[in-house]
């Protein structure tokens, strides 16, 4: 595990190319946001989707660079919940079994009464 001492963090900040890439991405997003927002009236700037996308890219770049500097691992993806899928499959299977039983009992009743 990488060290979290201040000198080690400064070394990573200065030497790690990935941190530099993330900071460059954040800077480009901030620049693009400013360039787009300065030509729009405030009401439209608040509703502009491209500005939101640029701000999101800036925040993501800064977050990833900070995680890399302090050497935190990326967050684990959330676990997938399979319970609803299993319930649907179980319900469908029970429905098929019930329909097959009903069909067999109806055929047995027809044969017993001599309809066929």
Domain encompassing residue 38:
6-70
Q: Give the pLDDT of residue 74.
A: 67
Tell me the pTM. Answer: 0.54
Sorting pLDDT into bands at 50, 70 and 90, what band is 1?
Answer: low
With a cut of 60, say whether residue 12 has pLDDT above it. Answer: yes
How far is the C-alpha of 61 from the C-alpha of 67, rounded, in Å?
10
With a cut of 80, say whether residue 105 has pLDDT above it. Answer: yes
In the predicted model, what is the mean pLDDT of residues 20-45?
A: 91
For the chain, report the end-to-end CA distance as a whole number of angstroms.
Answer: 78
106: number of Cβ within 10 Å: 10
Sorting pLDDT into bands at 50, 70 and 90, what band is 83?
Answer: confident
In a domain, 83, yes or no: yes
In a domain, 42, yes or no: yes
One domain, residues 101 and 56: no
One domain, residues 83 and 60: no
How far is the C-alpha of 13 from the C-alpha of 47, rounded, in Å?
35
């Amino acid at each position: 595990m990488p060290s979290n001492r201040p000198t080690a963090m400064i070394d990573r900040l200065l030497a790690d190319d990935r941190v530099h890439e993330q900071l460059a991405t954040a800077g480009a997003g901030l620049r693009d946001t400013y360039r787009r927002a300065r030509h729009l009236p405030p009401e439209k700037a608040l509703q502009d989707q491209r500005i939101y996308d640029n701000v999101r890219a800036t925040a993501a770049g800064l977050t990833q660079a900070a995680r890399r500097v302090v050497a935190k691992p990326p967050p684990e993806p959330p676990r997938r919940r399979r319970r609803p899928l299993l319930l649907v499959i179980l319900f469908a299977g029970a429905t098929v079994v019930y329909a097959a039983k009903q069909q067999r009992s109806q055929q047995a009743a027809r044969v017993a009464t001599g309809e066929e």
